[in-house]
């Protein structure tokens, strides 16, 4: 890999973006300023690493020149020893930084959690997963907003859809999609037997209006009276909204807000995100082998993780990695972060291996 050529390109682009951010006309353009600030933040780690890299190369030249001077030879040899130790480690860091970036990493997300097999217990587990992600969002300083929900009879949820916004949300949550399985004694179990239930999690990068073009003629919009909890004022007005995208058959509904306008806006956000995800899945399928570099295939039916309550163990089956502090996982603690970090490392390793091939 030609680190020097890549490094020069990145440093030049970083200087261009940095200079542009100081221009008055850019400061007056919110959209342009936002885009450049995002690129600046993405380039900064590479800029710092390549600055260190070129400094090491310069130091190596100076140290090699010292070897010709008897009085400086020993100092030069010591300096070369230091550089030979630091340079390979830095080059490994650069390989990771030069990997193709997921353009969605800095997007907000739509997370959809649905009860699966297991009856009432599956609904309770869906509620537990919602609590886990809500707690993790709090730890990260993100904002979580419920877009729509359908409560289960005994507690928990048949389905809950949330929007999570903040810094690099998709980057941290993108491997959470799939089937989550729980093994525990349900509250309704009288004989103490361990049952297995499941819930499905879908993580969609949030689409902006410019990402997906939706023709109003392709939409069927129905309004109806909310049937869920929310108080008398919710249930006595036709505030709930159901939107059907006719070309694809995708149906989205929202009823959590008292305002029909707000419910429609939320439903459109979810619809755009689902359509964007479908476009990306189609493109990825056409690329074929490109998806093999990922930790997971993105298949929503893939069993990705088991939460074993009797043994206080959470196992991610994609990387065969376990943590043994289930309560900490369920409150979005360090154990959940450890799982996510291991998934990121495995994905990076797979991409590096593919790059080497």
Q: How far is it, in rounded angstroms, from Cα 353 to Cα 300?
A: 25
Kindly report, residue by residue over 187-234, the tens digit of the pLDDT. Answer: 767 788 899 999 999 999 998 877 788 999 999 999 988 765 443 444
Res 292: pLDDT: 44
The single residue listed with the structure tokens 């074993």 is 308
DSSP strand E in the chain: where? Answer: 109-115, 143-151, 157-165, 178-184, 195-205, 219-224, 240-245, 250-254, 303-308, 313-316, 321-323
The CATH architecture to which 109-209+289-356 belongs is: 2-Layer Sandwich (3.30)
pLDDT tier for residue 173 given thresholds of 50, 70 and 90: very high
Annotated domain spans of the chain = 3-97, 109-209+289-356, 216-285
**For the chain, what percent of residues have pLDDT higher than 70?**
91
Strand partners, 234: none
The CATH architecture to which 3-97 belongs is: Up-down Bundle (1.20)
The CATH architecture to which 216-285 belongs is: 2-Layer Sandwich (3.30)
Kindly report, residue by residue over 284-321, the tens digit of the pLDDT. Answer: 776 664 444 445 544 556 799 999 999 999 999 999 99
Mean pLDDT of 130-154: 95
Mean pLDDT of 35-58: 92
Q: How far is it, in rounded angstroms, from Cα 106 to Cα 41?
A: 10
Cα dihedral sign for 316, 321, 323, 328? negative
pLDDT tier for residue 186 given thresholds of 50, 70 and 90: confident
Burial class (CB in 10 A: 0-12, 13-18, 19+), 169: buried
pLDDT at residue 339 tops 80 = yes
Query: Which backbone phi and psi does 295 adopt, to 5 degrees?
Result: -60, -40
Mean pLDDT of the chain: 88
pLDDT at residue 44 tops 70 = yes
């Amino acid at each position: 890999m030609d680190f020097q050529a890549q490094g020069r390109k990145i440093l030049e682009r970083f200087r261009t973006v940095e200079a542009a951010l100081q221009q008055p006309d850019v400061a007056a353009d919110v959209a342009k300023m936002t885009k450049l600030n995002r690129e600046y933040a993405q380039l900064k780690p590479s800029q710092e690493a390549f600055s260190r890299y070129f400094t090491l190369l310069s130091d190596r030249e100076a140290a090699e020149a010292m070897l010709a001077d008897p009085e400086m030879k020993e100092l030069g040899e010591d300096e070369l020893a230091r550089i030979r130790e630091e340079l390979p480690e830095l080059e490994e860091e650069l390989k990771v930084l030069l990997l193709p970036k997921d353009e969605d990493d800095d997007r907000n997300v739509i997370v959809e959690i649905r009860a699966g097999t297991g009856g009432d217990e599956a609904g309770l587990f869906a509620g537990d997963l919602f609590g886990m992600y809500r707690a993790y969002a709090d730890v990260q300083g993100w904002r979580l907003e419920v877009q729509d929900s359908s409560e289960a009879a005994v507690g928990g949820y048949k389905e809950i859809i949330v929007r999570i916004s903040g810094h690099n949300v998709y980057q941290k949550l993108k491997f959470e999609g799939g089937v989550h399985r729980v093994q525990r004694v349900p509250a309704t179990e009288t004989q103490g037997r361990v049952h297995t239930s499941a819930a499905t999690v879908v993580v969609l990068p949030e689409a902006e209006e410019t990402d997906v073009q939706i023709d109003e003629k392709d939409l069927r919009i129905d309004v109806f009276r909310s049937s869920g909890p929310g108080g008398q004022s919710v249930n006595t007005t036709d505030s709930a909204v159901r939107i059907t995208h006719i070309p694809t058959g995708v149906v989205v509904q929202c009823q959590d807000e008292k305002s029909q306008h707000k419910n429609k806006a939320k439903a459109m956000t979810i619809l755009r995100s689902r359509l964007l995800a479908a476009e990306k899945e189609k493109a990825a399928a056409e690329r074929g082998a490109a998806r093999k570099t990922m930790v997971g295939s993105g298949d929503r039916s893939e069993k990705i993780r088991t939460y074993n309550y009797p043994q206080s163990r959470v196992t991610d089956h994609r990387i065969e990695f376990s943590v043994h502090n289930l309560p900490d996982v369920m409150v979005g603690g360090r154990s959940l972060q450890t799982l996510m970090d291991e998934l990121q490392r495995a994905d990076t390793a797979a991409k590096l291996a593919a790059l080497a091939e």
